[in-house]
Structure 1
Amino acid sequence: MKLIDAADYAELSRAAAGIVVEQVRKRPDSLLVLPTGNTPVGMFRDLVAAAHNGDVDFSRARFAMLDEYAGIGRNDERRLYHWIRKELFDPLGVRPGAVIAFDPEADPECEARFVEQRIARQGGIDLAVLGLGPNGHIAMNEPGSDADSRTRLVTLTPATIRSNAAYWGSEAKVPRKGLTLGLGTLAEARALVLLVAGGGKAAILERVLNAAPSDAIPAAILGAHPAFTVVADRAALGLHA
């Protein structure tokens, strides 16, 4: 496991963007998995700036969604695909056909198999950038997820529902189920990056960094990956800036 100690959120964002840029320069048609939420927003802005400055070309890059709410409409404002499209794909000029996105209206089991098949047909994931949930979840792989779990329908825990309520105004507006790439699916990526920002994640990050791999902390399971990098700011590491 490699740890990048960023002085603050801005440095964390630059470091994460640099890893993505390096990957795309090395392999222009890379298949990338990127997270949603507040933590990656700075990275997205840095990626858009790098593309607009001519430092990297995303025209051949491919993307796969990390997760998606289930049981909502394709045009529902809560759909995670719409959020990342606004924050990153549209500013980068990414074509919808270059994205493996979950259809929230499809049969969940069929959709999970279809996403797995599309990833496999495209040669697998080159780089997956992940966020860390307050209970150690990765994507929507909640505590108790099997290390070899594949893409599937999951039920969100109360902790995750509380966390997601900040985006939608109340817990009542948070869908209770989701589709997610599995821990086993993500473990097959050629490289993994975990982004962690803020003192609120310090306790769970300490467990990820120091606990033995266990299904109680999904992120710790992925920590055994041979190309696993944690990019954390000093607050998340429990250090003074």
Structure 2
Amino acid sequence: MKITITDTYEELSALAAIQLFEAVKQKNDLNCCLATGASPMGMYKNFIDMVKQVNLNIDHVLWTKLDEWVGLPLDNPSTCESFLKTYFLEPLDIKSEQFLSFQADPNTIQQECETIHNKLNERPLDICILGLGKNGHLGLNEPGEYLIPNAHVVQLDALSQTHDMLNHQVVTQGVTLGLYEILNAKKIIFLVNGADKKAVYQKLMKKEISTTLPASFLWLHDNVEMIVMRDVAE
């Protein structure tokens, strides 16, 4: 794992955006998994500005959603879908066929998990953008006795149920790509931002791999670029 420590969120965002931009320049049909939340927001803004500045052709890139809250309509402002449309897809005029998404309807979600897994077997991720959850989760792969490798429905732990994105809405389940699909990505850009992540970051840096800390499985991947804020790392 390559670790870069930055002094500001702006620096973290710029470095991450450059990595994605260069990857798209090198492979214009790559498959990139998009995380949501405060950590990647600045990265997305920088990437959008860079693409527009040079008019980079991204018409063949596939953008894959990492996870979603189960039970909320996709047009609900708190969904990952709404976040990605607002802060990434719409500013770049991404076509619907370039976005690998999934509904979060409890009645159909199991079948959708199978569909997503099959599609990622056909076209594996080239890049996966991740943030570090306050409880150490990756996507919505929550801490527990075991982890599930493929896309699946998960019971959210208490901390995830109070995520800022939910804005006090009651959600008890999520759907997420599994650890196999995440670790199968050729490269992972791992963003660690927020002073409230310090304790879980310190636990991660012990390099002890455990299902109680899903992020620890990133130590098994040979191409992880972690960009971490100094107030978290020190």
Identify the residue that residue 121 of structure 2 maps to in structure 1: 120
Cα distance change on mapping 1:213 and 1:203 into 2, 3 Å = same
**In structure 2, distance between residues paired with 1:9 and 1:24:** 23
**In structure 2, distance between residues paired with 1:75 and 1:8:** 33
Conserved? CA contact 2:28–2:57, under 8 Å: yes
Cα distance change on mapping 1:6 and 1:176 into 2, 3 Å = same
Tell me the CA shift for residue 78 of structure 1: 2.5
Tell me the CA shift for residue 131 of structure 1: 0.7
**In structure 1, distance between residues paired with 2:160 and 2:14:** 27
Conserved? CA contact 1:14–1:43, under 8 Å: yes
Structure 1 residue runs without a partner (length 5+): none
Secondary structure at 1:226 match in 2: coil
Give the aligned CA root-mean-square deviation in angstroms: 1.5
Conserved? CA contact 1:131–1:138, under 8 Å: yes
Q: 5 Å matches for 1:164-203?
A: 164=163, 166-170=164-168, 173-203=169-199
User: What is the TM-score with the length of structure 2 in the denominator?
Assistant: 0.94
1:149 and 2:149 aligned: yes
Runs of 4+ displaced beyond 3 Å? 145-148
**In structure 2, distance between residues paired with 1:98 and 1:225:** 27
Conserved? CA contact 1:208–1:223, under 8 Å: no
**In structure 1, distance between residues paired with 2:120 and 2:145:** 21
- Residue type matched to 2:165 in 1? Y
- Aligned partner of 1:222 among 215, 218, 221: 218
The percent of aligned pairs where both chains have the same amino acid is 24
**In structure 2, distance between residues paired with 1:42 and 1:86:** 13
Tell me the CA shift for residue 127 of structure 1: 0.3
The range that moved more, 2-11 or 47-56, is: 47-56
Identify the residue that residue 63 of structure 2 maps to in structure 1: 63
Identify the residue that residue 73 of structure 1 maps to in structure 2: 73
Identify the residue that residue 110 of structure 1 maps to in structure 2: 111
**In structure 2, distance between residues paired with 1:22 and 1:109:** 35
Task: Tell me the matched-pair count.
Answer: 233
Identify the residue that residue 13 of structure 1 maps to in structure 2: 13
Q: 5 Å matches for 1:123-134?
A: 123-134=123-134
Tell me the CA shift for residue 37 of structure 1: 0.4
- Residue type matched to 1:169 in 2? N
Identify the residue that residue 45 of structure 2 maps to in structure 1: 45
- Residue type matched to 2:167 in 1? G
Cα distance change on mapping 1:22 and 1:145 into 2, 3 Å = farther
Structure 2 residue runs without a partner (length 5+): none
Cα distance change on mapping 1:4 and 1:56 into 2, 3 Å = farther
Tell me the CA shift for residue 145 of structure 1: 6.5
